[in-house]
């Protein structure tokens, strides 16, 4: 793919690329969904259907192809969220209060479906399909903008169409594409201003654009709680880098920086701002505890979480087929290449943190590419962006910005 001049973001040509990439992604996503519906589907006979066997009562029994589509997997939970955004009927999710809280802790996707359906329950199933397809376009557009921020062509945004997790969301309907796009927007809010090296005006403390980054990270956490790993890692690495920079500055040029105000421990406001993104999810979990009466532990914790690190992977890999191996190579392989090529400490830390997170996955997650590819969808985006090394020279890591003025 071609390249653009660094600093060309915001030009008319750049926006044309982003719109083109988003349009192509939406067309491809629509084709994938259409391919599922464009086949012979058997609608069960309601007179012989035994109710109560499905995990929700949303489509029990299913009476149309789109209801069958959602009943394949977690789509039915998000349709429930679109039909019941105010938690009036949580009992439609079976498994008890803890399972209900576990499923309802990811409300944003369903809320968008509720808005898209105009609050009409009968339109919620198709509304969720539309939101999923448009989310792919948003993710592609964000990836294109991130590529442009590094001096590459926005056409690199089409690379998201190689992410296995994208196709799994399209075939099962899930929030991971939307959540990953929101993480990318948070990344983009600070990327051109210190994180990815496009300019050096931010010499210390919080980067420009941190308020918008905080909003996007918080919304991503409301699509899937595990996506809050990104702001938590950002805060931890920034704290370490700023503390290290301050100590180094004090030791090397104590006299010169005595009046510069950067001596002493790193201030919470400079490194801890990403942690505020966790608060909306915590508040929502508290609301669920009051309304539903349970904590988001779920009823299948033994299968979802490994008893020993990578125990689920060891147990699941024996049943892998070609799809699982290819998906594993695309997700994990790209991330490892990105970590090797990246010159940004935060990107390397995000790759390491997600690999560590994957060690906790149980058998049900690792058994098929449908599980691990969508949960690790942020890692696919991180790996892509990290692989696109910044063309403007080594980036001034956000973790090292405190030391810039002293040096």
Residue 2 pLDDT > 90, yes or no? no
Contacts for 92 with CB less than 8 Å, ≥ 6 apart: 56, 57, 58, 80, 84
Task: Please write the tens of the pLDDT for every residue from 347-359.
Answer: 999 999 999 999 9
pLDDT score, position 302: 56
How many helical (H) and strand (E) elements, i.e. helices and strands, does the chain have? 20, 0
Q: Which residue has the higher pLDDT, 71 or 53?
A: 71
Distances in Å between the Cα of 242 and the Cα atoms of 95, 191, 204, 256, 337 are: 46, 18, 8, 18, 27
Per-residue pLDDT averaged across 320-346, rounded? 95
Confidence of residue 307 (pLDDT cuts 50, 70, 90): confident
Q: What does the alpha-carbon distance between residue 78 and residue 283 come to, in Å, rounded to a whole number?
A: 20
Q: What does the alpha-carbon distance between residue 263 and residue 258 come to, in Å, rounded to a whole number?
A: 7
pTM higher than the cut 0.85: yes
Lowest mean pLDDT among 248-252, 257-261, 274-278, 341-345: 257-261
Q: Which residue has the higher pLDDT, 371 or 206?
A: 371
CA atoms within 13 A on the CB side of 68: 12
Q: What is the DSSP string of 253-280?
A: HTTTTTTTS--SSPPHHHHSGGGGGGHH
Q: CB count, 10 Å around CB of 212?
A: 14
Lowest mean pLDDT among 35-49, 101-115, 388-402: 388-402
Residue 256 pLDDT > 90, yes or no? no
Confidence of residue 130 (pLDDT cuts 50, 70, 90): very high
Question: How many residues in the chain?
Answer: 407
Q: Which residue has the higher pLDDT, 284 or 262?
A: 284
Task: Please write the tens of the pLDDT for every residue from 267-293.
Answer: 888 899 999 999 999 999 999 999 999
pLDDT score, position 7: 43
Per-residue pLDDT averaged across 219-225, rounded? 98
Query: Backbone phi, then psi, for 361, in 5-degree steps?
Result: -65, 140
pLDDT score, position 77: 97
Which class for 168: exposed (0-12), middle (13-18), buried (19 or more C-beta within 10 A)? buried
Average model confidence (pLDDT) across the chain: 86
pLDDT score, position 394: 44
Q: DSSP state, 195?
A: T
Q: What does the alpha-carbon distance between residue 142 and residue 183 come to, in Å, rounded to a whole number?
A: 9
Residue 299 pLDDT > 80, yes or no? no
Residue 251 pLDDT > 80, yes or no? no
pLDDT score, position 206: 80
Residue 136 pLDDT > 50, yes or no? yes
pLDDT score, position 297: 87
Contacts for 151 with CB less than 8 Å, ≥ 6 apart: 3, 4, 5, 6, 7, 8, 390, 391, 392
Residue 260 pLDDT > 50, yes or no? no
Tokens of 360: 């906790």
Among candidate residues 184, 180, 109, the one with its CA nearest the CA of residue 142: 184
Query: Backbone phi, then psi, for 116, in 5-degree steps?
Result: -65, -30
């Amino acid at each position: 793919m071609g390249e653009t001049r660094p600093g060309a973001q915001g030009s008319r040509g750049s926006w044309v690329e982003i719109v083109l990439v988003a349009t192509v992604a939406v067309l491809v996503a629509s084709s994938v969904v259409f391919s599922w519906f464009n086949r012979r589907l058997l609608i069960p006979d309601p007179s012989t259907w035994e109710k109560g066997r499905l995990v929700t009562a949303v489509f029990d029994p299913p009476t149309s192809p789109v209801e069958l589509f959602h009943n394949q997997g977690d789509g039915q939970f998000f349709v429930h969220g679109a039909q019941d955004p105010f938690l009036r009927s949580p009992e439609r999710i079976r498994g008890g209060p803890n399972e209900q809280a576990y499923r309802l802790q990811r409300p944003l996707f369903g809320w968008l479906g509720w808005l898209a359906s105009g609050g009409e329950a009968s339109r919620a199933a198709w509304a969720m399909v539309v939101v999923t397809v448009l989310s792919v376009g948003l993710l592609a557009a964000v990836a294109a903008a991130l590529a442009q921020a590094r001096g590459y062509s926005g056409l690199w945004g089409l690379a998201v169409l190689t992410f296995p997790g994208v196709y799994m969301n399209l075939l099962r309907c899930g929030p991971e594409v939307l959540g990953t796009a929101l993480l990318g927007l948070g990344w983009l809010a600070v990327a051109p201003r210190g994180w990815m090296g496009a300019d050096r005006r931010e010499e210390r403390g919080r980067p420009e654009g941190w308020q918008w980054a905080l909003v996007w990270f918080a919304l991503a956490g409301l699509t899937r709680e595990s996506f809050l790993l990104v702001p938590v890692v950002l805060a931890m690495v920034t704290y370490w880098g700023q503390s290290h920079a301050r100590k180094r500055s004090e030791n090397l040029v104590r006299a010169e920086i005595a009046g510069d105000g950067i001596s002493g421990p790193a201030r919470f406001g400079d490194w801890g701002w990403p942690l505020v993104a966790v608060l909306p999810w915590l508040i929502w979990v508290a609301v669920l505890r009051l309304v539903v009466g349970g904590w988001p532990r779920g009823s299948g914790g033994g299968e979802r979480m490994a008893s020993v690190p990578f125990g689920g992977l060891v147990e699941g890999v024996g049943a892998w087929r070609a799809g699982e191996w290819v998906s594993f190579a695309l997700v994990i392989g790209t991330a490892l290449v990105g970590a090797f090529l990246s010159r940004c400490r935060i990107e390397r830390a995000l790759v390491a943190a997600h690999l560590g997170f994957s060690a906790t996955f149980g058998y049900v997650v690792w058994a098929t590419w449908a599980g691990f590819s969508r949960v690790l969808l942020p890692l696919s985006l991180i790996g892509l962006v990290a692989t696109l090394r910044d063309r403007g020279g080594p980036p001034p890591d956000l973790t090292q910005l405190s030391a810039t003025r002293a040096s």
